[in-house]
Amino acid sequence: MTTVLTLIVLAPLAGFMLNGLIGARLGNRFVGVVGCGLPLAAFALTLVSFRALETGGAPLIETFYTWARIGPRVFDVEFYFDRLSAVMTLIVTGVGTLIHVYSLGYMKEDKGYARYFAYLNLFLFFMLLLVLGRSLLVLFVGWEGVGLASYLLIGFWFEDPEKARAGKKAFVVNRIGDAGFLLGMFLLFWALGTLDMDRINAAFNGAALPAVSASLVGILLFIGATGKSAQIPLHVWLPDAMAGPTPVSALIHAATMVTAGVYLVARMSGIYLHAEVASQVVTTIGLVTAFFAATIAVVQTDIKKVLAYSTVSQLGFMFVALGVGAYGVAIFHVTTHAFFKACLFLGAGSVIHALGGEQDIRKMGGLARRIPVTFVTFVVATAAIAGIPPLAGFFSKDEILWFAFASSRGGAPLLWLVATLTALLTSFYMFRLVWRTFLGASRMDEKTAHHVHESPWSMGGVLVVLAMLSAIGGFIAVPHYLEALLPAPPVEQALHHLETPLLVLSVVVAFAGLAAAAFLYGGTAARAARMEARFAGLHRILTHKYYIDEIYERCLGGPLVWISEHVFLRTGDRLLLDGTLNGMAGLAQRVAGGLSRLQSGSLHRYAFLVLAGAVACLAWSLSHV
């Protein structure tokens, strides 16, 4: 038995411990070496495991220890490494390490350097637990743990109450999803007596279906996924989560953590294959999210918010793929998305770094010549996400569109249409971002403009690597690699002849978006301003994100506090309970006060009362003789 998988998981934990406990005392160099070295070690170990997996063929399974035994039930902490985990682990450790390296430069000036790397390592630890865990329980531990790391990193600059609030919001919204996840897990445990995901899949793929509704389980687990992967209606936390440091946004809120929901559904594909209703729900939610998030992204003015909504939208794409049964394709898109979105976020980070903290694209422009490395890598990644061939996004997105159209597990022309429209919007808002940020005339103030500088090599180098991956990532045939594990859904024969026309169409759509952005935002962007004035109402709705935050606050947050305060606290506790209690105490006091008046202190009266009492007793006893 080997311990490689355990080591992969524990390496970042060791980094967390070292940096968290003694990092601040040993200086930034030590923190950097530990903070980046251990994730790198994890990546190396992952490669070792990957080789072992490819030579051996069978999934690697390692038992770490037994968490609990209750009666006949055993909860083991086990790690499971098959091709799906392999892809995810490679992304997590690979992209993760790159972002750690990037952070070396980005966070250099920050006082909480050690703390930052400690949290980042902690995140990696939980993320690896999530993708390597064999049982849903271990996955759940990682699932909540990444939420914690995200909470800590969003609120990293804790002086700012806005940021602390964003962290809290992320945590609580995720918890809502987790409640659904827990219920799904309980239901599976009741039906199958195990939480090991391979066993659950085997049970559902076996001859006799378990005595539990696959759709119900599927929907419950999907609620968890909507929380973590920011799908409607639980998407509200992700844009606010941009309050964290930018590398964090790249790592957690773009490349890895938010794809956990996609991983979960793909991992539990055994259930979803038998859950038609659940799959339809997944598709619908994914599609709606993809579209609406894309529309919001079109008008955002914060560079990170645009990317955040773009992430939400892309995750929606992945769920569409999952819903129509193309699990491998979804993971493919996870992979390419990790490359280009990490590159975009880190590029945005580089821009923000260069401008001394400015995030508003209305105050940028003309940066292309000032920070050329950032510009070039950003454009490559943008082209990738827009779906321009032969970059990474083109391949994965095109496959999603194809299966949305043709999959016999729920593909439909309408799905394809909305998804393609979303792709058009994606291309448009991404190129809009490029134009507003890098091209045209500078809209910076003098002071900022003076300070603009290209980022150090540790940041630029990472950008280049990621841009290269965004460019060639599409040639990594992830769906093919996963075919044995997650076979592609059957496609209706009659539709095969449409594959090439659709492909051409999707390329046209990508360029149309580019053209539209160039048309509207080229030059002085006067056309865009006119459009904005003309559709002021729509613009306002989009800027306010369809007022969903406000609606939640009005319909959920407000009433909860109101009920707690007025019904439970004031009426329940104070009025009813304490009121009754104090009332009873008051009554007793008043009665006693009345009786105490008899206690006059006059001996004669007492004696007289004794006499009266004696006479009364006598009279009573006489009358009853």
Partner 1 sequence: MSEATLLNLVLFLPVLGIALVVALPAGRDGAVRWATFWVMMVQLALTTLLYCRFDAAVPGLQFETRLPWIEAWGVYYQIGLDGYNLLLVLLTTFLGPLVVAGAFTAISKDVKLFYAMVLLIQFAMLGTFVAQDLFVFYLFWEMMMIPMFLIIGIWGGERRIYATLKFVLYTAFGSILMLAAVIYLVYSLRASTGITSFAFADLLGTPLPMSVQLWLLAAFGLSFAIKVPLVPLHTWLPDAHVEAPTAGSVILAGVLLKMGTYGFMKLGFPLFPDATRALTPALMTLAVIAIVYGACLALVQNDIKKIIAYSSISHLGYVMLGLVSLDLLGIQGAIIQMVSHGLTAAGLFLMVGMIYERCHTRELAAYGGLAKVLPVYSVFFMILTLASIGLPTTSGFTGEFLVLLGTFTSAWPQYVDGAPWPLAMAVTAVTGVVLGALYMLRFAQHFLFGAERVPHGPVADLGLREKLILFPIVVAIFALGLFPDAPMRKTELAAQHYQALVLAPRAPGSTP
Partner 2 sequence: MDRLQILLLLAMALFAVGLLGVIIRRNLLVMLMCMELMLNGVNLSLVTFAQQTGTEAGAVLVFLIFVVAAAEIAIAIPIVLLLVQGKRTLDADAYTDLKG
| Contact track, partner 1, 165-204, x by CB under 8 A | x-xx--xx--xx-xx--xx--xx-xx--------------
3-state secondary structure of 30: helix
Residue 145 as a binder of partner 1 (CB under 8 A): the answer is yes
- Cα torsion for 518, 520, 524, 526, to the nearest 10°? 170
Nearer to partner 2, 71 or 601 (CB): 601
**Residue 598's binding partner out of partner 2, partner 1, none, with CB under 5 to 8 Å set by partner kind:** partner 2
Span from 155-163, 371-379, 564-572, 608-616 in contact with partner 2 (CB under 8 A): 608-616
Pairing of strands 60-70, 73-81: antiparallel
Residue 457 binding: pick among partner 1, partner 2, none (C-beta 5-8 Å cut-off by kind): none
Nearest distance, CB of residue 305 and partner 1, angstroms:
22
Instruction: Determine if 3 is a binding residue for partner 2 (CB under 8 A).
Output: no
Query: What is the spatial distance between Cα 598 and Cα 609, in angstroms, rounded to a whole number?
Result: 10
Q: Binding partner of residue 519 among partner 2, partner 1, none, CB under 5 to 8 Å per kind?
A: none
Q: How far apart are CA 463 and CA 342, in angstroms?
A: 9
Query: In this structure, are residues 187 and 217 in contact, taking their beta carbons and an 8 Å threshold?
Result: yes
Instruction: Please state the closest distance from residue 577 (CB atom) to partner 2, in A.
Output: 32
Contact flag: residue 622 with partner 2 (CB under 8 A): no
- Tell the smallest beta-carbon distance from residue 221 to partner 1 (Å): 14
563 part of the interface to partner 1, by CB under 8 A? yes
Distance CA 255, CA 92 (A): 8
- Kindly state the helix (H) or strand (E) to which residue 493 belongs, with its residue range: none
Measure the CA–CA gap between 149 and 102, rounded to whole angstroms: 18
Work out what residue 140 binds among partner 2, partner 1, none; the CB cut-off runs from 5 to 8 Å by kind: partner 1
Q: Which amino acid is at 133?
A: G
Say whether residue 623 binds partner 2 (CB under 8 A): no
Backbone angles phi, psi at 3, to 5 degrees: -125, 20
Stretch that binds partner 2, among 85-93, 527-535, 554-562, 606-614 (CB under 8 A): 606-614
Rounded CA separation 231/320 (Å): 11
Residue 526 CA to residue 43 CA, distance in Å, equals 48
**Does 602 interact with partner 2 (rule: CB under 8 A)?**
yes
Are 610 and 598 in contact by the 8 Å Cβ rule? The answer is: no
DSSP state of 490: P
Q: Is 271 within 8 Å of 200 (Cβ atoms)?
A: yes
Cβ neighbours of residue 622 closer than 8 Å, sequence gap 6 or more: none
Indicate whether 588 belongs to the interface with partner 1 (CB under 8 A): no
Tokens (6 digits) for 543 = 């800027």
Choosing from 25, 29, 57, 71, the residue that interacts with partner 1 (CB under 8 A) is 71
Tell me: does residue 598 bind partner 2 (CB under 8 A): yes
Give me the residues that bind partner 1 (CB under 8 A), please.
65-71, 73, 137, 140-141, 144-145, 148, 151, 155, 158-161, 163-165, 167-168, 171-172, 175-176, 178-179, 182-183, 186-187, 189-190, 560-561, 563-565, 568-569, 572-573, 576-578, 581
The binding site for partner 2 (CB under 8 A) comprises 596-604, 607-608, 610-611
